[in-house]
Amino acid sequence: MSGGPLAGVRVLEIGGGIPAAFATRWMAGFGAEVVRSEGPPEALTEDEGIYLLAGKRRISVVEPTTLRRLALAADIVVEDRKPGTLAAWGMAPEDLRAEKPALVIVSITPFGQRGPYAGWEATNLTAFAAGGIHSLTGHPSRPPLQTGGSQALYLGGLHGFAAAITAYFGALVHGEGDWIDLAIQEIQAGMLELYGPRSEYEGGPSPRTGNHVRAVWGLYPCADGYAGVCALERQVPALFALVGDPALEEERFRDFTQRAEHDDELQAILYGWFADKTRAELLELGRKHKVPIGAVLTPLELLASEGLAERGFFDTVETNEGSARVPGRPFLGLPWVPGRWEAPGESTAAVLREWLGEEGVG
Amino acid sequence: MKRLPLEGIRVADLTMVWAGPFATKILAEMGAEVIKVESPQAWDLVRTLIPMPGVEEFWNCSYYFNDYNRDKKSVTLHLADPRGRELFLRLVERSDVVIENYRADVLDKLGLGYEVLRERKRDIILVSMAGFGKTGPEREYVGYGPIIEQMAGLASLTGYGDDGVPYKTGISYGDPVAGAAAAGAVALALIRRQRTGEGAFIDLAQREVMATLIGEAFVRASLRREVPPHRGNRDERYAPQGVYRCFGEDRWVAISVRSDEEWRRLAQAIGRPDLASLTLPERKARHDELDRAIEAWTEQIRPQVAAQVLQAVGVPAAPVIDTEAIHDDPNLVAREFWVALPHPRMKPWRQPRSPWRLAEAKPTPRRHAPLFGEHNTEILSGLLGLSQEEIAELEAAGIVGRAPVNARPGG
């Protein structure tokens, strides 16, 4: 038993794609015993599987009746199948909850368990489209652009983790779990920053703003790639001092209200300022002058980051292709154990024996 | 009435702007008593970021602030003053969790680091959410919003693919991502405290949380030294996939084809049975041409209609929903996602419910975001036992306030 905060907690992942697999990855790292019942093989790519399945016991089950018994032997069940799947298998969440009041069940789907879109087919792209963020991302003169990776599905997993753990704490204290119906569309619709409430309060959709919400809140080409600045009003004087262009002393740039009318001009100055500096130089200037400056770094560059190495961010997963280095603990302060990658079905017999007291392969 | 998971938990909330308030908003939605601590000299700048024109007390009239601070209480304390700091420590003694998202060095400079808090409350849980963490050579970087996704590798993956330009996400994406993770960290630490009696110091770097959402890109980079190409709205597995122009201004529908069968049905639906037998390699090779064929169909109809026609034959499709239309989206409306709450200074508007739909405990937004210092008396007198005279003295000394000092638009 590791010393993790979830040591001894039994989690059944009914996989599933990224949402269920990501939600339970953090549970495994923080000490829970996670058993993954395999889903359709196409639900995860090989690279996704290497990242998301490390640290889990993998079983190829099995009769729905056996899966049902495993669910009742668990403390937390996480699933991302189409709504109604569990019920069709004779293990409706309401019934499981009635049989075991302390059980926490999290169902993660693109559109939720009920509602007119509940039966809709979806991929990461279509789930992202329905959440609002997609409409805000990309250049105003081009189509909406999806954010990289599989963000809609990962958001489902992130909230799946946090919601499940919160409900599990509730079960520890109050004695009762719950069934959580997480809709990825709602997760996104609830994180629309200024733009969601503004549209509702003032009317009219918020437009895409490309890489420049404002000149002082944008992304610029620099000598060896791209770098960004995100200055709030309190940091604008420090940014202007750093840029050092005498024109920036003028009231039309200093004043918050007037500046908006001269944004193109200010952008031009900043394009010029960024152009001849490297990302490393810009980051150092930002640090020194307390101006929020960032640089567009690639995963390959981050693998070589001294800062991330010093903080022990990456885990190693042994694969047939060699050692993969992947993001590890999401935060420091609670014990985290990097997981070993198992082959599909490797633990079927052991889990049936340990969880259900059954001998022989299920 | 079934209890919410965090009922009985008290949070002393020092967070500001977005990542932290997003985390404590979740804690409040899940039943915790969240006490937001602001200073009359240094308030949550989102209160004053986008002021409504011509409104008195504009710091109390921000829909932006409201959405991320609902269900919390507000107390004001000037923490840089020893008397304000001491009152905060007395609040810590009565709290389970302290959470902050200052720049990495600020909490220690206020004399409120973990060891100090621990002396006042042995099992306190402190969650710090600096952009780049509390340790390491990058801890001094200032990390607002889009900077997090740039520094986490995500922005490098986002782009149309034909111009080499990386793109920022249309919101400050790293903030709510870190916020959700921080809410999970609080629950994990509470579980451990419940089992062992120990507190915790959580050092959450927003950049690191963000990087966990692109794990497979690190697998690819470490095993094969590859950086994924910008793929626009396409996918490496599915073709065709994209966002297609529809009838109307800036209206789009997203469509994904995952199999030969789905493609056959889509080709029929758009009136192009001649293309129905194309295989995946053929569809990838002719992706541009197929995009034009699909768009010739979508351009004639509205996104909702296109999505419904394709869903009726089992093909993944959804409208790209903008920030206005999302408030009337049939699925969200049917699920009662939007809730209009009264506000003492503003007209009611529809606000998002918690997406954590606990089927039995049914979390529901209870109250508007607090006015500045609205709960000063309740907290300082009711919880900390100060007399009215003491509170009046603190107000006179500028340690407790009823309004931000010298508030200006723009944060």
Q: Find the CB nearest A168 among B143, B191, B317.
A: B191
Domain B10-213+336-396, CATH number (from 3.40.50.970, 3.50.50.60, 3.40.50.10540, 1.20.1050.10):
3.40.50.10540
CB contact under 8 Å between A145 and B3, yes or no, is no
A-contacting residues of B 275-314, CB under 8 Å? 307, 311, 314
CA atoms lying within 13 Å on the CB side of residue B196: 17
Question: Where do the CATH 3.40.50.10540 domains begin and end in chain B?
Answer: 10-213+336-396
> Which residues on neighbouring strands pair with residue B38, listed in sequence order?
B76
Nearest chain A CA: its distance from B266 CA (Å) = 13
Residue B175 known to be catalytic: yes
CB neighbour burial string for B388-402, b if at least 16 within 10 angstroms, e if fewer: eebbeebbeeebbbe
Among A193, A303, A1, smallest CA distance to B217 is for A303
CB contact under 8 Å between A286 and B141, yes or no, is yes
Beta strands across the sheet bearing B252-256: B241-245, B252-256, B317-319
Q: Find the CB nearest B223 among A145, A201, A322.
A: A322
| CA–CA separation, B158 and B170 (whole Å) | 11
Q: Find the CB nearest A143 among B138, B252, B347.
A: B252
Question: Does residue A2 surpass a pLDDT of 70?
Answer: no
CB contact under 8 Å between B323 and A135, yes or no, is yes
Question: Where do the CATH 3.30.1540.10 domains begin and end in chain B?
Answer: 251-321
CB contact under 8 Å between A299 and B221, yes or no, is yes
Domains and CATH numbers, chain A: 10-190+313-356 (3.40.50.10540), 212-302 (3.30.1540.10)
CB neighbour burial string for A285-319, b if at least 16 within 10 angstroms, e if fewer: bbbeebbbbbbbbbbbbbbebebbeebebbbebeb
Percent of chain A residues past pLDDT 90, beyond the cut: 94
CA atoms lying within 13 Å on the CB side of residue B85: 12
Residue B299 burial class via C-beta count within 10 angstroms: exposed 0-12, middle 13-18, buried 19 and up: middle
CB atoms under 10 Å from CB of B347, counted, come to: 9
Q: Provide the 3-class DSSP secondary structure of residue A195.
A: helix
Alpha-helical (H) ranges within A142-278 are 151-174, 184-189, 195-202, 236-243, 251-254, 256-261, 263-275
Among A45, A88, A44, A50, smallest CA distance to A67 is for A88
What is the reported pLDDT for B174?
A: 96
CB neighbour burial string for B92-127, b if at least 16 within 10 angstroms, e if fewer: beebbbbbbbbbbebbeebebebebbeebbeebbbb
What is the reported pLDDT for B158?
A: 98
Question: Does residue A237 surpass a pLDDT of 90?
Answer: yes
Kindly report the average pLDDT of chain A as a whole number: 95
A-contacting residues of B 343-382, CB under 8 Å? 346-347, 349-361
CB contact under 8 Å between A114 and B408, yes or no, is no
CB contact under 8 Å between A331 and B195, yes or no, is no
pLDDT single digits (tens) B241-299: 999 999 999 999 999 999 999 999 999 999 999 999 999 999 999 999 999 999 999 99
Residue in B13, B71, B175, B203 annotated catalytic: B175
- Mutual angle of helices A236-243 and A263-275, in 10-degree steps: 50
Q: Provide the 3-class DSSP secondary structure of residue A82.
A: coil
pLDDT single digits (tens) B383-401: 999 999 999 999 999 999 9
DSSP class of residue B379?
I
pLDDT single digits (tens) A308-357: 999 999 999 999 999 999 999 999 999 999 999 999 999 999 999 999 99
Residue of chain B whose Cα is closest to the Cα of A195:
B323
Query: Within chain B, what is the greatest distance between any pair of CA atoms?
Result: 85
Among B247, B276, B282, smallest CA distance to B262 is for B276
Mean pLDDT, residues A65-85 taken together: 97
Question: Within an 8 Å CB–CB cutoff, is residue B340 touching chain A?
Answer: no
pLDDT single digits (tens) B60-117: 999 999 999 999 999 999 999 999 999 999 999 999 999 999 989 999 999 999 999 9
Residue pair A328/A322 in contact by the 8 Å Cβ criterion = no
Question: Within an 8 Å CB–CB cutoff, is residue B219 touching chain A?
Answer: yes
Residue written as tokens 């002719």? B286
The fold adopted by the segment(s) B251-321 is formyl-coa transferase, domain 3 (3.30.1540)
What is the reported pLDDT for A1?
A: 40
Q: Residue A362 — very low, low, confident or very high, per pLDDT cuts 50/70/90?
A: very low
